[in-house]
Amino acid sequence: MPRQPMTEKQKRVLTVALVIHVIMLTFTWRDLSRRPAAGVRGKKGLWRLASLLNTSGSVTYWLLGRRSVPKGELVLVDTEA
């Protein structure tokens, strides 16, 4: 069965889903880079891979993958350089 071209509505839905995925991926990776290993349940590399593959990986990280860390232990990234 040949594929049908996507409708405009399908293209818009796919674009919105992709934008949401990229935003969630950015927030997840930024948090992983700033958070010490003790503040993450499991290995950081596995969380990066899970979040890269699909948006549910990022959501799962935010719901289950983080441990509370005292404020002084988070690494702040210098964005002015």
CA atoms within 13 A on the CB side of 26: 6
pTM of the full predicted structure? 0.77
Question: Does 63 map to a domain?
Answer: yes
pLDDT at res. 81 = 43
Low-confidence ranges of the chain (pLDDT < 70): 72-81
Residue type, 1: M
Question: Does 55 map to a domain?
Answer: yes
| Matching residue, tokens 């935010």 | 62
DSSP assignment letter at 35: S
Question: Does 76 map to a domain?
Answer: no
Domain around 23: 8-68
Q: Is the dihedral of CA 71, 72, 77, 80 positive or negative?
A: positive
Question: Does 2 map to a domain?
Answer: no
pLDDT at res. 1 = 82
Q: How far is CA 71 from CA 29, 37, 39, 58, in A?
A: 19, 14, 11, 22
